[in-house]
Amino acid sequence: MVRWLGAGLALALAGGAQAASEDSAIELPAEQIEKIVRDYLMREPEIIYQALEELQRRQAEAAAARQRLAIIENREQLINDAGDPVAGNPDGNVTVVEFFDYQCGYCRQVVRSVRELMDEDPQLRVVFKEFPILGEASVVAARAALAAREQDRYLSFHLALMDSGDLSLAGILKLAEQVGLDAERLESDMQAPAIERQLQENHELAQKLGIEGTPAFVVGEELVPGALDKQRLAGLVEEVRSNCATC
């Protein structure tokens, strides 16, 4: 037997509900309620799609709220981790954080947008989060890029790696020489425990934020996945800047 709430809903769906006082109870057999609901859904099947759309909307809102909270809680690691390379204006008033993989085609697509935006916006700060998720070649390239910081060549080497078709160790070391790096020193620096630790911390942070692919950008309190064009990225930056009283 089902109490007043379930029975009242079923009667309302059937169009035959009658007013009942708060302390009254209407009891109907479960089989009858199921038939009423089934008949209603057969007459109005679009209600199922409406319910699913509403459920998806609520789930998306909840996920976005959780993601925003995770960004706030991990903001210091996102924007001020000493292990992350920084480009643009190191004292800029808006920071863009990019999670990327050197083998990711979409990451390669956004390189130009990020570079042009850095050139055009003197108050933009960009944090590069090495996030190798596409295999061993990605890990080797990320290690090499972080090691290039020791020779003050991160950005030029980062751009070269993004444009390279050969991410084998031999190919990476050859590329390093082409951009003015000491390849022998680079290979040695790649094995530093600090680099392994940085990559692990980046993966853990991505997991906390719910990042499952690359590229992914964090601007302000918003995480935006995908290959953003320069206009979209600039719009996100300006939105943060316009809402920041201290910028």
| pLDDT reported for residue 29 | 84
Rounded Cα distance between 171 and 165, Å, is 9
Contact partners, residue 90, CB within 8 Å, separation at least 6:
125
Q: 41 and 104: one domain?
A: no
Q: Is the dihedral of CA 224, 229, 230, 232 positive or negative?
A: negative
The answer as to whether 169 is a domain residue is: yes
Query: What value does the mean pLDDT take over residues 52-70?
Result: 79
**Does 171 score more than 90 pLDDT?**
yes
Query: What range does the domain containing 127 cover?
Result: 85-242
What's phi and psi for 94, nearest 5 deg?
-135, 135
**Does 27 score more than 90 pLDDT?**
no
Do 211 and 225 meet the contact criterion of CB atoms below 8 Å apart?
yes
Q: What is the mean pLDDT of the chain?
A: 87
**How many folded domains does the chain comprise?**
2
Q: How confident is the model at residue 63 (pLDDT cuts 50, 70, 90)?
A: confident
The answer as to whether 247 is a domain residue is: no
Q: 61 and 105: one domain?
A: no
Q: 102 and 152: one domain?
A: yes
Q: 62 and 89: one domain?
A: no
The answer as to whether 215 is a domain residue is: yes
The answer as to whether 177 is a domain residue is: yes
Q: 60 and 141: one domain?
A: no
Coil, strand or helix: which one is 150? helix
Q: 115 and 164: one domain?
A: yes
Q: Give the HSE-up count for residue 218: Cα atoms under 13 Å, Cβ half-sphere.
A: 25
Query: What value does the mean pLDDT take over residues 73-87?
Result: 96
Q: 106 and 222: one domain?
A: yes
The answer as to whether 226 is a domain residue is: yes
Q: How confident is the model at residue 154 (pLDDT cuts 50, 70, 90)?
A: very high
Q: 128 and 226: one domain?
A: yes
The letter for the amino acid at 128 is: F
